[in-house]
Structure 1
Amino acid sequence: MRAAISLIAEKGTAGLRMSDIAERAGMSTGHILYHFGKKDRLLLEVLAWSQRDLWDRFQQAVDQAASPAEKLDLFVRFYLPRHQGDERYALWTQVLAQRHDDAGRAVLTELLDGWDARLAAILREGCDLGHFADVDLTEFTIRAVAMLSGLSEDVMFGRSRWQHASAHAFALTALERELRPAGQG
């Protein structure tokens, strides 16, 4: 998995070959093919591995956060690509563009739902503590993740609007505006 993600960062997914991964991992191409069958399945498995790693680091950061507002900030920071060539997000776009069987769709649905569940937990805590306005969690989560996904595409595409502005700050301001309890500036 580490060999594949490092090669994705170097070459992108289009130029990635199973033989390159095998060489980097110190394995035979046959061994890689035996475990994954084809490149599309390997990319899906690398994506799932990458997300588990990202969520572990996200959870560690959230466990240190002092408030739901800090947790929301972390969610946005971890969700958005770090830069135009972010390998994790490039992998997402490549894997989402593929056709998947039922098993592949189930993996992707679990990964996408994982983001929703993490955001909903932050929102629920913030609402329960009175830090956030009482919002429809499902509706807000759908809207927030859709906005973040659109911003992510902009960042990955290299839209000039994000060269001198922060997509993170933009997203956080939009979310906080809607979550501000009534009567607070």
Structure 2
Amino acid sequence: MARVRLSVAERREALLRAAIEQIGARGVAAVRIADVASALGVSNALVLYHFSTKEKLMAAAFAYAAEGDLAHLRKLLGRRTTALRRLRSAVRWYAPTGQAKGWRLWIEGWAVALRESTLREVTQDLDEQWKAALAEVISEGVAAGEFACPDPSGTALRLTALLDGLAVQLTSYAGAVPTSRAQEWVDDALARELGLDRETLIS
């Protein structure tokens, strides 16, 4: 049976998906070009043709995975409902107690980004996009009179810092924090930041 010839875009996407799988199995530091090539039954040279170094492949794979979560975040924030409902659903989805699946990848990326400038630039850009998206809907809620928040950008930073920290605890140390307790902390922080009582937030 003849092999299907993939377009350049399709081949790149297949390589990125394979790289993400290998990161999940081995960790960023341990993944080799040969591991990604072997997973698809292609040569090392083909991988290097599309991504000239391992560092560029890892950065591209990380961006590919994280941008999928970003797209979902923007979908939640773009719904036709109140700013509070949009923000609440986005924070609960983004939280490590929610449905976002990219936490292990983020943690891997943060660790390697301390030493690799290529990945550091990618992670910083994606992190800024997360915060900007949250700050925007917070500003919309303030303008609509739904809640009070004098510093939407600061609130977005504090909320994501809390969520990121909880993600490390829940992902790295199973059982360190009960997920129900983590969700309570997230709800409490969101209510406090928005100047709402908790009952209003969760109703």
TM-score by length of 1: 0.80
Q: Which residue, 75, 81, 88 being the options, matches 2:90? A: 75
- Between the aligned partners of 2:158 and 2:51, the Cα distance in structure 1 is 35
Is 1:52 aligned to residue 76 of structure 2? no
The question of whether the paired residues in 2 share the 8 Å contact of 1:12 and 1:87 is answered with no
Is 1:97 aligned to residue 141 of structure 2? no
CA RMSD of aligned residues (A): 2.8
Is 1:18 aligned to residue 33 of structure 2? yes
**Which ranges in structure 1 are unaligned for 5 or more consecutive residues?**
none
1:164 to 1:113, Cα distance in 2 relative to 1, 3 A: closer
Is 1:88 aligned to residue 110 of structure 2? no
Number of equivalent positions: 181
Q: Which residue of 2 aligns with 1:127?
A: 142
The question of whether the paired residues in 2 share the 8 Å contact of 1:76 and 1:168 is answered with no
Q: Deviations over 1:128-169 (max 9, x none)?
A: 111111321232222222111111111112252433525344
The secondary structure found in structure 1 opposite 2:42 is coil
Between the aligned residues of both structures, percent identity stands at 29
The AA in structure 1 aligned to 2:161 is A
Moved more, 165-174 or 139-148: 165-174
The secondary structure found in structure 2 opposite 1:162 is coil
The question of whether the paired residues in 2 share the 8 Å contact of 1:61 and 1:74 is answered with yes
The question of whether the paired residues in 2 share the 8 Å contact of 1:131 and 1:181 is answered with no
Runs of 4+ in 1 over 6 A off after TM superposition: none
**Which ranges in structure 2 are unaligned for 5 or more consecutive residues?**
1-15
The AA in structure 2 aligned to 1:100 is E
TM-score by length of 2: 0.74
Q: Deviations over 1:33-62 (max 9, x none)?
A: 233233333221111111211111222233
Q: Which residue, 21, 25, 29 being the options, matches 2:44? A: 29
- Between the aligned partners of 2:143 and 2:154, the Cα distance in structure 1 is 17
1:169 to 1:34, Cα distance in 2 relative to 1, 3 A: farther
The question of whether the paired residues in 1 share the 8 Å contact of 2:109 and 2:119 is answered with no
The question of whether the paired residues in 1 share the 8 Å contact of 2:33 and 2:47 is answered with yes
- Between the aligned partners of 1:131 and 1:142, the Cα distance in structure 2 is 20
1:18 to 1:80, Cα distance in 2 relative to 1, 3 A: farther
- The structure with higher relative contact order (CA 8 Å, sep 6+) is 1
Highest CA radius of gyration, 1 or 2? 2
